[in-house]
Amino acid sequence: MIVRELADSFVLVEQHEHALVSGEFARRWVRGPSPRESTLYAVENHDVAWREPDREVLWNEASGRPYSFLDYPPGPKLSAQLRGIDLVESGDAYAGCLCSMHYARFLLKSEKPVEVEFREREAARQERLREGMSGEESENLERNFRFLRLCDGLSLFLFLYGPGEGGNPPPTPDGFRLDGTRYELSWRSGDSVNLDPFPLTEPFDVAVPYREVGKDRELAGDGVLEFRITGKSG
pLDDT at position 53 is 94
Q: What is the mean pLDDT of residues 146-168?
A: 90
Q: What is the pLDDT of residue 172?
A: 76
Residue-wise pLDDT for 117-141, tens only, equals 999 999 999 999 999 999 999 999 9
**What percent of the chain shows pLDDT beyond 70?**
97
User: Where does the pLDDT of residue 218 fall: very low under 50, low under 70, confident under 90, or very high at 90 and above?
Assistant: very high
**CA–CA distances in Å: residue 67 to residues 9, 56, 102, 104:** 14, 10, 21, 21
Domain count, the chain: 1
Per DSSP, what are the bridge partners of residue 204?
229
188 to 139, 143, 191, 229, 233: CA distances (angstroms): 38, 30, 8, 10, 11
**How much of the chain, in percent, has pLDDT values that exceed 90?**
89
Q: What is the pLDDT of residue 175?
A: 86
Task: Tell me if the bond preceding 74 is cis, omega within 30° of 0.
Answer: no
Q: What angle do CA 139, 144, 149 make, to 5 degrees?
A: 150
Distance from C-alpha of 68 to C-alpha of 218, rounded to nearest angstrom: 17
pLDDT-based confidence at 233, cuts 50/70/90?
Answer: low
pLDDT in tens, 18-51: 999 999 999 999 999 999 999 999 999 999 999 9
Predicted local confidence at residue 165, as pLDDT: 80
Range of the domain at 16: 2-230
